[in-house]
Amino acid sequence: MPFPRMAIYSRIRTFFSLTTEIKCRFITKLFLHLPIAMKFENKLFFTKEELILKNGRSSSALNKRIHRAIKNKKLVKIKRGFYLSTEAYLQEQDKIKSQELIASQLYTPSYLSLGYMLQKYQLLFGDGQITSVTTKISRHFANFVGDFKYFNIKKSLYFGFEEIDFQGRKYYVATKSKALFDYFYLKSNLNYRNSKKLKRLILEESGIQWNNFSENDFKLFDKYVWQSNSKKMMRIWEIINNYFESKKFDGWAKELLSL
């Protein structure tokens, strides 16, 4: 049943007779009951600064709304001041790029590499982990979106990646050659002083599908190895180089036999 007109006028007069401080408290409580992402319904990611700019809320009031949205599983906190809309993520058709973007935002600076990218390049069978390389300490994060692992590499080797645009943001992925370089460089159980064991491990036991690694890929790999000045990687380079040389010889032999 609607309020009588005089009752409404009375409530309005009462409101305007309140002190400014009490009015502000009343309005803040009112806004706390509004939907948290009313202007971000179709946006996958947003920062706290973006919410303040779009919705015109004070930081303290917005913190309460964000906390409530996280508790109600409407938002997922990716990191401090950076949030994922659960609804937008579930509706997003390209889940792979969404996960990759999350990986890039979760821990920066970083680029996708190692087993994850080797799987995408069809060089290795993956285990579901989203692996990245960073100049920071190694970290591991897991949430409903995925399992994210970050491996430290020294700053002088932080190169060899390409830029991807998605959802108005940028993230980075290793080239095929750099993903392979990172994979072997960061592999701790490689005894590069024992040539026979190293050869067996690189060409047979590593699981790398060498048929999907071209000579052009190897040329770029060669560049990365000499930039690294790593004895371990130079030994691995020698093994892979001999592999490609033997493939060339086998090709020439087949041509001669077919004459």
Structure token digits, residue 186: 């960061």
pLDDT band (50, 70, 90) for residue 135: very high
DSSP tag of 141 = E
Smallest CA-to-CA distance from 77 within 96, 105, 54, 111 is with: 105
Whether residues 106 and 165 share a domain: the answer is yes
Of 133, 153, 180, the domain-final residue: 180
Share of the chain above pLDDT 70, in %: 76
Q: Are 168 and 97 in contact (CB under 8 A)?
A: no
Is residue 69 one of the residues assigned to a domain?
yes
Is residue 8 one of the residues assigned to a domain?
no
Whether residues 210 and 243 share a domain: the answer is yes
- Tens digits of per-residue pLDDT, 27-86? 445 444 444 444 555 678 788 887 777 766 667 777 888 888 888 888 888 888 888 888
Overall number of domains in the chain? 3
CA 169 to chain CA centroid, Å, is 12
Whether residues 100 and 166 share a domain: the answer is yes
18: pLDDT strictly greater than 90:
no
Structure token digits, residue 126: 């993956």
**CA-CA distance, 233 to 223, in Å (whole number)?**
11
Whether residues 202 and 139 share a domain: the answer is no
Q: Are 154 and 135 in contact (CB under 8 A)?
A: yes
Is residue 7 one of the residues assigned to a domain?
no
Whether residues 158 and 199 share a domain: the answer is no
Whether residues 159 and 102 share a domain: the answer is yes
Whether residues 207 and 250 share a domain: the answer is yes
Q: Averaged over 226-253, what is the pLDDT?
A: 82
Comparing 110 with 141, the larger pLDDT belongs to: 110
CATH number reported for the structural domain that contains residue 59 in this entry: 1.10.10
Own/partner pairs for 206-215, CB < 8 Å, 24+ apart? 207/124, 207/125, 208/118, 208/123, 208/124, 208/180, 209/122, 209/123, 209/124, 210/243, 212/121, 212/122, 212/123, 213/123, 213/176, 213/180, 215/244
- Tens digits of per-residue pLDDT, 153-170? 999 999 999 999 998 889
Which residue range(s) make up the domain with 51? 14-88
Is residue 193 one of the residues assigned to a domain?
yes
Is residue 102 one of the residues assigned to a domain?
yes
